[in-house]
Amino acid sequence: MALVEPVPLVPVRELGPVHFIAIGGAGMSGIAAAYADAGVHVSGSDAADSAALRQLGERGIDVHVGHDPAQLGQARTVVVSSAIRETNVELAEARRRGLRVWHRSAALGALMLGRRGVSITGTHGKTTTTGMTAELLRDLGTDPSYVIGSPLASSGRSSQIGAGDFFVVEADESDGSFLQYPAEVVAVTNIEADHLDNWGTAEKYFDGFVRLCRQPHVRTVVLSADDAGTRALRPLVEGGDRSVLTFGESAEADVRISSLQVDGPQASAWLVAADDEGTVQLAVPGRYNLHNAAAAYAIGRALGVPGAQLRRAAGAFRGTHRRFSFIGELNGARVYDDYAHHPTEVRALLTAARPIAGAARLVACFQPHLFSRTRDFAAEFGAALALADRVVVLDVYPAREDPIPGVTGELVAQAARSAGADVTYVPDKADAPRVLAGLLQPGDLALTIGAGDVTAIGPAAVALGLLGGSWR
C-alpha cells in the first residue's frame, strides 16, 4: 500500500455533504461523528453491521450496510481509509463523478483548521495518551475538540467538537497520514520499527517522524526521554522556533516521574517539572500508563495549562475501549480485552497484568495482526507471550493484506513454545471461545489480545458460562 501524502485542506463548510466509505471503522467513526456534530450532512457505508454503525445511525447519520454507488446520494466529498481499494464500487462511482475524494486524515485535518492543534503519535501508547490529554483538558474546563482511535471508557465516545481552542487528535503513523494535521504541538511517545509493509524499511519509518516534527506549523515537540527512537529524533528536530519538551524516568527529562508504584489495578508516581511537583495517581494500571500520563502532562504544559491542575485531573481517566477492558467473569476467572498488537505492547501488557493476577495464573489468548507483522516479529511475539502461564494463539487476522505463503499463527505458537510457554494453537477462530473457556480455572486472569476480531472471543466465552456450557 502506498503512503498517504498530505493534500491542501478546505474548510469544512465548503465540503458539502460528506460520505464515508467504511464508516464503522475505528479510525472513521469518530471523524464521521465529529462532522455530524459540526453540522455537516453525513452518510456512510460499511461491509458489515456493527455496534459503531448502529451508534452512528442513532445520532442521525445515514448509514448503510453493504456498498452501493447509489448510497453516495448528493455527496460532494467522499472520505476513505487506507484499507479501501480502488475496486470499491462507491469509490469508483465517486471517481467517475469527479467528486472530491479525501483520505480520512484530510477530513480530520479540515476539522482542525482555526484551532490549536495537538497531534499525538508513536508506535505505542498514542490512543491512551490522546485519551488522557483530551480528558485532562476537558475536565479542566477548556472544552476541547478531540478525535481518538478508540472510545473513552468514561463517555463511550471517541470524538467531540467543543467550543474551546484546543483540538487533540490521535495521529496514525502506519500509513504516513500523520503528516496531514495542522498541529502546533506534536507528541511522539516512542519509535520502534513497525508497519514496514507500508514504509519498507525501519529507516524510512523513522524519517517519517523527522518530517512530521519539522513541519513549519509545529511549535513544540513532546518526546520520551527514555525511548531510544525518540532520543535519536531529538537532535534532528530541535532548534529555530521549535522547542522540545521531554518526559519519562530519565534524570534528564523535563517532566520526570519517579517512585513508580505499579503493583495493582492502579498506578502512581512522583512527578517533577520545572515549576511543579507532586503525586500523579491513576485509576488504570501499568508503568506504561504512567509514561502516557507524563506525556499528557507535558502536552498540557506546552499548551499553557498549570501543572498542579493537570496532576489532579489525571486521576479521573478511566481508560479507552480495548485497553485492559474488563469483559466479565467465567468459571471464577476474570476476563479482559486489549488491543496490543506489537511485541513491545504485548510484553508491557502482560507485565502490567502479572501483579494484578497475583498468585493466580495469567492466560493470554492472542491473535496476530497482519501477515507481514507476523512474519517479521514472530519470535518477538513468542518471547512476549511466554510471560503468561497459558497461551492460546489464533491464526492471523489479515486486515488489509493478502496472505503470505507459509505465514500463519503457527509461527507465533512455535516461537512461544520455544520460549517456554504452554501453548495451544487454534487455527479456527470459531473454536476459540470453547478452548479459552476450557482452560480457565477459578482465580485466573485471562486476556484476549490483538487488533483484529479477537475482541469477540472474551464475550463469547463468558456467554458460554452464562448458558451453563460444559467445557471439560
Q: Are the beta carbons of 359 and 332 closer than 8 angstroms?
A: no
Instruction: Note if 170 is an active site residue.
Output: yes
Residue keyed to cell 524516568: 249
Can you tell me the distance from the alpha carbon of 377 to that of 296, in angstroms, rounded to the nearest whole number? 29
Cα torsion 247, 323, 181, 304 to 10°: value is -40
Q: How high is the pLDDT of residue 467? A: 46
Residue type at 77 in one-letter notation = T
Backbone angles phi, psi at 209, to 5 degrees: -70, -35
Q: Are the beta carbons of 92 and 70 closer than 8 angstroms?
A: no
Right CATH number for 325-466 from 3.90.190.20, 3.30.1780.10, 3.30.750.24, 3.40.50.1370? 3.90.190.20
What letters, b where the CB count within 10 A reaches 16 and e where it falls short, cover 354-368? eebbeebbbbbbbbb
Domain ranges of the chain: 12-102, 114-314, 325-466
Q: How high is the pLDDT of residue 263? A: 85
Q: Which fold has domain 12-102?
A: Rossmann fold (3.40.50)
Q: How high is the pLDDT of residue 466? A: 55
Can you tell me the distance from the alpha carbon of 6 to that of 10, in angstroms, rounded to the nearest whole number? 12
Coil/strand/helix, residue 141: coil
Instruction: Note the pLDDT tens digit of each residue in 277-323.
Output: 999 999 999 999 999 999 999 999 999 999 999 999 999 998 888 88
Q: How high is the pLDDT of residue 410? A: 97
**79 beta partners:** 20, 102
Instruction: Note if 126 is an active site residue.
Output: yes
Can you tell me the distance from the alpha carbon of 94 to that of 68, in angstroms, rounded to the nearest whole number? 11
User: Grid coordinates in use for 67?
Assistant: 456498498
Q: Please tell me which residue in 126, 189, 220, 344 is annotated as part of the active site.
A: 126
Can you tell me the distance from the alpha carbon of 338 to that of 345, in angstroms, rounded to the nearest whole number? 10
Nearest to 442 by CA among 279, 330, 282, 317: 330
Q: How high is the pLDDT of residue 339? A: 92
Q: Are the beta carbons of 222 and 186 closer than 8 angstroms?
A: yes
Angle made by CA atoms 128, 132, 133, in degrees to the nearest 5: 120
Can you tell me the distance from the alpha carbon of 363 to that of 440, in angstroms, rounded to the nearest whole number? 8
Nearest to 93 by CA among 111, 73, 120, 65: 73
Q: Output the CA torsion sign for 14, 35, 304, 323.
A: negative
Nearest to 462 by CA among 381, 354, 348, 365: 365
Q: Please tell me which residue in 77, 121, 123, 127 is annotated as part of the active site.
A: 127
How far lies 375's CA from each of 256, 391, 405, 459, 469, in Å? 37, 19, 10, 29, 36
Cα torsion 150, 152, 153, 156 to 10°: value is -90
Average pLDDT per consecutive 10 residues, the chain (472 residues; last block may be shorter) = 89 96 90 93 94 91 96 97 91 97 97 97 94 96 93 88 96 93 98 87 96 97 98 95 97 98 92 96 93 98 96 91 89 93 94 92 97 95 97 93 94 98 96 95 96 94 67 34
Can you tell me the distance from the alpha carbon of 20 to that of 101, in angstroms, rounded to the nearest whole number? 10
User: Grid coordinates in use for 471?
Assistant: 467445557
Q: Which segments within 345-431 are labelled E, that is strand?
A: 362-366, 390-394, 423-426
Radius of gyration of the CA atoms of the chain, in A = 22
Residue type at 419 in one-letter notation = A
User: Grid coordinates in use for 56?
Assistant: 452512528
Can you tell me the distance from the alpha carbon of 108 to that of 115, in angstroms, rounded to the nearest whole number? 12
Helices 287-302/343-357 angle, 10° precision: 120
Backbone angles phi, psi at 446, to 5 degrees: -110, 140
- Kindly list the strands in the beta sheet with 145-147, ordered across the sheet, starting from the edge strand earlier in the chain: 159-160, 145-147, 166-170, 116-121, 183-188, 220-224, 243-248, 255-261, 267-273, 276-282
Q: What one-character-per-residue DSSP string does 388-410 give?
A: SSEEEEEPPB-TT----TT-SHH
Return the CATH number of the domain spanning residue range 114-314. 3.40.1190.10
Residue keyed to cell 512474519: 375
Instruction: Note if 246 is an active site residue.
Output: no
